[in-house]
């Protein structure tokens, strides 16, 4: 068995930049070697994401169709019923998903919604699935209520580098994001935090985004890497597409900097070729969202994902199994 890659939280920008800019084959080899030290390279976690409250968000995130401040004009909806969430989770479990993620278009949840959120967590966990929520910024008492309800993961992406952040969002700060992550971690929940690439940022912004996560006191347990899906009428609707090789480099750097984290190949897979996705899996991505939609964006159909898994010899991770080498299933 290969020795485990060391877990470091003291990476420097110079080190990260040097890794990112390695000759591509050397970068892939290094990333895949690190991946094999921690994970079974032929297992990929399947998660499902449901929008439990859509539209009307007061934030001005330039990439998002759910912002009430941009031109996408997506109608606002209320928090959906607990029973519907549990029914959708059961469908996802029966289709092979082991983690269920619930997202609400809020700046932060209101106290009146907390009981329903707690009931959703209980209901999904009773199905034998891991639970994850993304609800915006959290107050300390809200963090503890979610934890006590049994929430396994809290997702709060930092989106981009601190330098580029104000170009994308002005209604909250990069520091606000980091503060929420700290509250979640201190409460004992697992952290899911990543970002979006292809938003017109520079190469160094992609490096700095991952470096910000890799130098936290503890690495996120899950790191989603999203390719921007340009939404008509949003400020980023016409942004130039990112070179796919740059995207693979980003996946590889995430794997090398954060060896024990799940690196999730998230939004944008609909426009990715099978070959590009295969390179991402080789570079260390080992988690995907399944189902036809991601909140409000398109996602590959489950049959297409299974066909790709069959072609590559990939298998889905079992529920409550992190997939790490030497770990028994819970």
Return the active site residues.
57, 61, 64, 101, 132, 192, 264
- Supply angle C-alpha 262, 265, 271, rounded to 5: 175
Q: Residue 69 corresponds to which tokens in the numbers above?
A: 């401040």
Question: Would you give the end-to-end CA distance of the chain in angstroms?
Answer: 22
Report d(CA 113, CA 146) in Å as an integer. Answer: 12
Closest CA to 245 of 284, 280, 208, 201: 280
| Token pair 């697992």: residue | 190
Given the structure tokens 């209320």, which residue do they identify?
78
In this structure, are residues 79 and 53 in contact, taking their beta carbons and an 8 Å threshold? Answer: yes
Is residue 34 classed exposed, middle or buried when 0-12, 13-18 and 19+ CB atoms within 10 A define those classes? buried
83 sits in which H/E element = helix 82-94
Q: Output helix, strand, coil percentages for the chain, rounded to the nearest 5.
A: 40, 15, 45
């Amino acid at each position: 068995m290969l020795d485990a890659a060391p877990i470091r939280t003291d990476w420097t920008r110079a080190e990260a930049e040097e890794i990112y800019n390695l000759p591509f084959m050397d970068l892939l080899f290094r990333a895949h070697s690190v991946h094999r030290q921690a994970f079974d390279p032929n297992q990929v976690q399947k998660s499902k994401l449901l929008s439990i409250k859509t539209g009307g968000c007061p934030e001005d995130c330039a990439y998002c169709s759910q912002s009430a401040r941009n031109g996408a004009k997506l109608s606002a909806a209320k928090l959906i019923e607990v029973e519907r969430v549990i029914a959708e989770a059961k469908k996802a479990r029966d289709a092979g998903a082991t983690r269920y993620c619930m997202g609400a278009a809020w700046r932060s949840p209101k106290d009146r919604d907390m009981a329903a959120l707690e009931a959703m967590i209980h209901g999904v966990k009773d199905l034998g699935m891991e639970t994850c929520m993304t609800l915006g910024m959290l107050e300390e008492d809200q963090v503890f209520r979610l934890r006590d309800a049994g929430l396994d993961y809290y997702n709060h992406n930092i989106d981009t580098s601190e330098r580029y952040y104000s170009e994308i969002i002005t209604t909250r700060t990069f520091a606000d994001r980091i503060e929420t992550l700290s509250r979640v971690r201190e409460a004992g929940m697992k952290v899911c935090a990543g970002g979006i690439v292809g938003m017109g940022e520079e190469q160094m912004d992609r490096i700095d985004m991952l470096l910000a996560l890799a130098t936290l006191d503890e690495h996120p347990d899950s790191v989603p890497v999203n390719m921007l899906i340009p939404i008509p009428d949003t400020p980023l609707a016409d942004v130039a597409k990112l070179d796919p090789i740059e995207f693979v480099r980003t996946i590889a750097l995430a794997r090398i900097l954060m060896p024990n984290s799940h690196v999730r190949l998230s939004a944008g897979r609909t426009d990715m070729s099978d070959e590009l996705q295969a390179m991402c899996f080789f570079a260390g991505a080992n988690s995907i969202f399944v189902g036809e939609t991601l909140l409000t964006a398109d996602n590959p159909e489950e049959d297409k994902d299974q066909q790709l898994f069959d072609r590559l010899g990939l298998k889905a991770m079992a529920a409550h199994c992190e997939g790490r080498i030497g770990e028994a299933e819970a």
